[in-house]
Amino acid sequence: MGRRRRRNFAPYLLILPSFIYLALFFAWPMFRSLQLAFRRESQILAVYTEIEGGDLAGRLELQTDVAVLNRERREETLPNGRTRPIYWFQIVGENSVGETVEGWVNQRYLFIESRTESETARVVGGEGAHEWTLDYVRRMFNDHNFWRALRTTLLLLVLILPLQFVLAIIMALVLQSQLKGSSILLYIYAIPLGISDLAAGLVWVSIFRQNGFLNTFLTEIGVLDSPYVFLSANNQEWMLAAIVLAEVWRATSIVMVIVVSGLQGIPRDYLEAGEIFGASLWQRLRHIILPLLKPSLQVALILRTILAFQVFAVVVAITGGRVITVLAYETYRWYDPGDSGFNNPNVAAAYAGFIMLISLVIAIFYLRTVRTQEEAARE
C-alpha cells in the first residue's frame, strides 16, 4: 500500500490571521453599522395580569398616557438586607394598534405626579426591543443637505481624478526616464505623503486667505490693488478650486507610487522595439505603456475613488463644512453629539452605508471596464 499523502496545513495557517483581521476590523464593524442604519432600538413596557408576575396582558410603547385604576404598596428587599416601599399600579391604555391593554406594572416604568392620588400616568421605561426599519434611510434621503453633499462629492470626483492621473503619469515617466536629479524629484514628489488631510487643508487656507501668500504675491506684482477674499460664502467657486488643488497636491503622490511600480514591471524590450519602429513618445505612451499599465491604473482608480468619497478634513479646513458640504461631513454632522451636530448615529450609519455602497458600485464598474486583454479574453 502506498503511503497516505499528508495534508499541508501551512497555507491555511498563514491565511488564518488575514481572515481574523477581516472579521474583527471589517466584517463586524460593517455589520454593526448596517444594524444601526436599519434597526430601531426601543423600549416596550410589558403589562402583566398580576403583581410581580402572571400572564402577559400586553405591551405599551414609551410616552403612552394611561389611566391608573388601582395601586398597591409592597416591600422591596435591597442588596444590603434593608427594605423599602415600592408601588405597583394597575393601569389601562391603548397600544400602537389601538388595542386596550390593562394590567399591573412597577412604579419605576411610569411617570406619575403622586403615587397615592394621581389617576393618570405616562410610560417612561420598559424592556429593550428592536425592529427593522427604513426610516433612517428615508430620513437621510429627505435631509436637505443630502443631495447637495452628493452633488459636491461627485463633482470633486470628476475634477480631481483626471488631474491626479495625468500628473501622476507625467511624474512617473519623469522618474522612469532616469534623468539627472530624478532621485531628488522622487523625494520632492513624496513630501505630501507625510502630511495629514487636515494639515494639507490648512496649508491651502494659508495660501488663499485674505492675508495669505497668493494675495500678497498678486498685490506686490501689481495685479491686485487690495487683497481679494477668495474663501467666502460668496465665492464658492474659489472654495471648490482650493479643495481640488489641496486634494490634487496631497494625494497625487499615492497614484504616482502605484504608476511607478507598474512602469517598472513593463519590459524595456517593448519600449525599445517601439523606438526602433519609429514610434513617438505619445504613440509609445498610448499603444504600449498605458495598455500595460491597466492593472496598476485599475488599483489606483479604485483607491482614489474610495478616498475621494471620504474627503472630509480638507473640506472642513477650507470651508468649515457648511458652505460646501460633502457626504463624509454630513456623516460626521449627524453623528456629532455636540452643539453643531444631531447626535443621531442611526442616520450617520445610513450615510456611511451609502458611501460604502456607491464606492463598491464604482469599484465594480472599474473592474469591468479597465481590464487587460488577458482578462477580457478569459470571458
* Residue among 239, 234, 231 at smallest CA distance from 152: 239
Please tell me which residue, 94 or 379, carries the higher pLDDT value: 94
Q: What is the pLDDT at residue 372? A: 55
Indicate the burial class of 107 (C-beta count within 10 angstroms; 0-12, 13-18, 19 or more): middle
> pLDDT (tens digit, 9 = 90+) per residue, 342-363?
888 899 999 999 999 998 898 8
- Residue 97: partners with Cβ closer than 8 Å, 6 or more residues away: none
211 has a pLDDT exceeding 90: no
Q: Which carries the bigger pLDDT value, residue 243 or residue 370?
A: 243
Q: What is the mean pLDDT of the chain?
A: 85
| Count of beta carbons in the 10 Å neighbourhood of residue 233 | 11
Q: Which has more confidence, 373 or 300?
A: 300
Average pLDDT over residues 282-294: 84
Region 238-265 average pLDDT: 90
Is 338 strand, coil or helix? coil
The CATH number assigned to the domain with range 138-378 reads: 1.10.3720.10
Higher pLDDT, 322 or 217: 217
**Whole-number pLDDT of residue 323:** 87
Q: How far apart are the first and last CA of the chain?
A: 44
Q: Which of 8-22, 33-47, 239-253 has the highest mean pLDDT?
A: 239-253
Give the per-residue pLDDT at 352. Answer: 92
Q: Where are the domains of the chain?
A: 12-40, 43-130, 138-378
Query: Mean pLDDT, to the nearest integer, of 45-55?
Result: 86
Percent of the chain predicted with pLDDT > 90: 26
* pLDDT at 378 > cutoff 60: no
Residue 141, pLDDT score: 94
pLDDT at 377 over 60: no
Higher-confidence residue of 167 and 273: namely 167
What is the predicted pLDDT for the residue at 379? 54
Residues 165-188, mean pLDDT to the nearest whole number: 84
State the sign of the Cα–Cα–Cα–Cα dihedral 145, 148, 150, 153. Answer: negative
Residue 56 parent element (H or E)? strand 53-61
Cβ-count burial of 266 within 10 angstroms (0-12 exposed, 13-18 middle, 19+ buried)?
A: middle
Most confident of 17-31, 114-128, 318-332: 318-332
